[in-house]
A and B are shown apart, each in its own frame.
Chain A
Amino acid sequence: MTPEPKGPGAAWTGSFPPGPPQARRRSDEGRRRLKGPRRREESRVPDAEFTSYYGRPVIKEPAWGVPDVPGYLFLGGLAGASSVLAAGAEVSGYGELARVAKVGALGAISLSAVALVHDLGRPERFVNMLRVFKPSSPMSVGSWLLSAYGPAAGAAAVSDLTGILPAAGKTATVGAALLGPAIATYTAALICDTAVPGWHEGHREMPYLFASSASCAAAGLGLLTLPPAAARPARTLATLGAPAELVARRLLLRRLGDIAEPYETGRPGLLLRAAEALTVGGLAGAVLGRRNRAVSALAGASLLAASALTRFGVFEAGMATTRDPKYTIIPQRRRRDRLGIN
């Protein structure tokens, strides 16, 4: 992962030796390039010269692995939104959909817990997560949320499948539905509360992207597994979630500006473009396939896949912004120059 040494104090586009300090501060140029056409493969901010230490990253890449952590982002969203869908479906008389959503939530949250523990450097110490409660740590908040949500989602699913303790099952269904939105969205806080520019700078939009992506996943599971007539609430959820997801995605990229580059290029760019296409296709299929089982199921599969690809794309794009010092240095240099420090 060690980048090619670019020479001491080497400018990003310039070569060793760097120019005098004044010449290095042409940071306005990158701003202008922001308006350039999107999805170009070449760099969008090459004009803003900057200095770095041999091209080395300033911050460390988070010690989080693929597929564990992006998989967790996806599965947590699927579980949380499925619990919401389950309660909505149960109340409105769609018992089969409620059952599918409850079982889906239990399966997803179980798998995600495995992924989380697997990603720890010391998995046998996972219970240390519940040693303290720290609102300043989204991971601490999430651990406590999970420890309340997991049993609720489990009880809801088991009661529905077996028919035992129906009253407790109802309570658990409501409890899981109340905690579900938090489970689906806190993961945005988890990744945005870091020094990773590609996540942190998007913290105002990421929760909405995650909530809507989670809705797509839960709706997708319902559409994939049930005939259209039995999955109507899932279709409704898809028609609400998918457009919101497409809008949130645009707003996120607009907010990130120059830092959005890895979201639009390379592997994460590919993942996110595929996700966008699948979301559009899934939305269309969900609407048009209201009487066609095959079209409806295909739409469901598309939405599920789109949600997974979105999480992997966001994860990998953020990681990419840690590997190149330009994403850390240029925005900070602009801020520093603007504030007139030194």
Chain B
Amino acid sequence: MSADPAGRAGYLDHPPRMGFFTDTSICIGCKACEVACKEWNAVPEDGLSLSGMSYDNTVGLGASTWRHVAFIEQPVTAVADAAEGVRWLMSSDVCKHCTESACLDVCPTGALFRTEFGTVVVQDDVCNGCGYCVGACPFGVIARREEDGQAHKCTLCYDRLGAGMEPACAKACPTESIQFGPLDELRERAALRVADLRAAGQDQAQLYLNDPGDGIGGAGAFFLLLDEPEVYGLPPDPVVTTRDLPSIWKHVGLAAAGLAATGVALALGRRPR
């Protein structure tokens, strides 16, 4: 089920599923991905202020921020190897392009759709700004832009992919922290990389959202992290809300049946003369 979201969406003959592997262990926090994304996709400016959160003045993903570099300064108590007792984590976050996408599931207009590459994209000319996707996303990625009232997020550069190019952020990344390619290849590469890091003593190195058995069926954009996901502002065990939809509809049905039965009971009464 999770292997082929494009096939599940009805594409008979489609390219392999494409995605991102973001290896945060080699991110240097240059934010070239943020800039390249804004430039290529003509994403409007959305705030220029100081946050007080290390070097992170972007703060988080949103309607007009499709790449976001997180900066975490961790004091290291055992200062055996770390410079000046600080471990500095950096990670470029992005839309996960989930195998089971809550935003796509709940979109009532069909504005959100699955592409032939297995990614998830909003159609600007269809979205009516209902906002359902915003509350459905377990990662807080998609949001509604004040200026046009519509939902926006990373398209994994759908236009560039169609032309055989790699997404702007991956193209601009100077350390190849952001790697783009067929998801199967990326997963193999990531497994080797995390094994290397662990062998080198990075005990907390872990892959995040690479497992097709997780709560979103695995992501199209997955990560190698050097600490727990929540340290980076990521949910530790996200589950797509629509997995519970059968249970939700069942209880709605039972409650509606109860209300209908009450109506029947009322109808059985007779007005005293």
Contact = CB atoms under 8 A, between A and B. Distances in A.
Of the listed residues A9, A85, A94, A131, the one surrounded by the most CB atoms of chain B closer than 10 A to its CB is: A9
B202 interface: no
Given A88-B267, A121-B150, A236-B269, A195 B138 contact: yes
Contacts of B6: none
A139 B130 contact: yes
Contacts of B257: 181
Interface in A164-204: 177-178, 180-182, 184-186, 188-189, 192-196, 200, 203-204
Given A21-B204, A58-B233, A237-B262, A195 B137 contact: yes
A92 B230 contact: no
Nearest to B136: A194
A120 interface: yes
Interface string A130-154: 0110111111100100000000000
A92 B137 contact: no
Contacts of A62: 131-132, 134-135
Nearest to B62: A60
B135 A132 contact: no
Contacts of A54: 51, 53, 233
Contact of A131 (B110, B227, B244): B110
Contacts of B107: 134, 137
Interface string B223-254: 00001101111111110011011011101101
Contact of B236 (A63, A85, A120, A333): A333
A60 B103 CA distance: 12
A85 B263 contact: yes
A138 B237 CA distance: 24
A51 B135 contact: no
Contacts of A211: 255-256, 258-259
B142 interface: yes
Interface string B194-224: 0000000000101000000000000000000
A89 B267 CA distance: 6
Interface in A96-144: 119-123, 125-126, 128-129, 131-132, 134-140, 143
A126 B77 CA distance: 57
A214 interface: yes
Given A126-B128, A143-B108, A194-B136, A58 B252 contact: no
A60 B266 CA distance: 43
B167 interface: no
Contact of B266 (A57, A64, A125, A237): A237
A63 B134 contact: yes
B108 A332 contact: no
A182 B259 CA distance: 9
A138 B106 contact: yes
Interface in B104-149: 105-111, 126-132, 134-144, 148-149
A291 to B, nearest CB: 14
Given A62-B134, A84-B262, A136-B242, A184 B109 contact: no
B252 A185 contact: yes
Of the listed residues B110, B247, B262, B271, the one surrounded by the most CB atoms of chain A closer than 10 A to its CB is: B262
A158 to B, nearest CB: 21
Of the listed residues B106, B206, B232, B263, the one surrounded by the most CB atoms of chain A closer than 10 A to its CB is: B263
Contacts of A196: 135
A8 interface: yes
Contacts of A341: 237
A162 interface: no
Contacts of B72: 8-9, 53
A61 B141 CA distance: 11
Nearest to B254: A207
Nearest to B129: A121
B202 to A, nearest CB: 13
Given A21-B228, A84-B262, A181-B255, 14 more contacts: A5-B51, A54-B53, A63-B131, A84-B266, A92-B267, A119-B130, A121-B148, A181-B256, A181-B259, A185-B256, A189-B245, A214-B259, A233-B269, A335-B236
The 5 closest A-B pairs by CB, nearest first: A121-B129, A121-B149, A88-B266, A62-B135, A53-B233
30 contacts: A5-B52, A5-B53, A20-B77, A56-B60, A59-B137, A60-B137, A61-B134, A81-B259, A85-B263, A88-B269, A121-B128, A121-B131, A123-B128, A125-B126, A129-B130, A132-B110, A137-B106, A193-B136, A193-B245, A193-B248, A194-B241, A195-B241, A204-B247, A205-B251, A207-B252, A207-B255, A322-B135, A329-B236, A332-B237, A336-B236
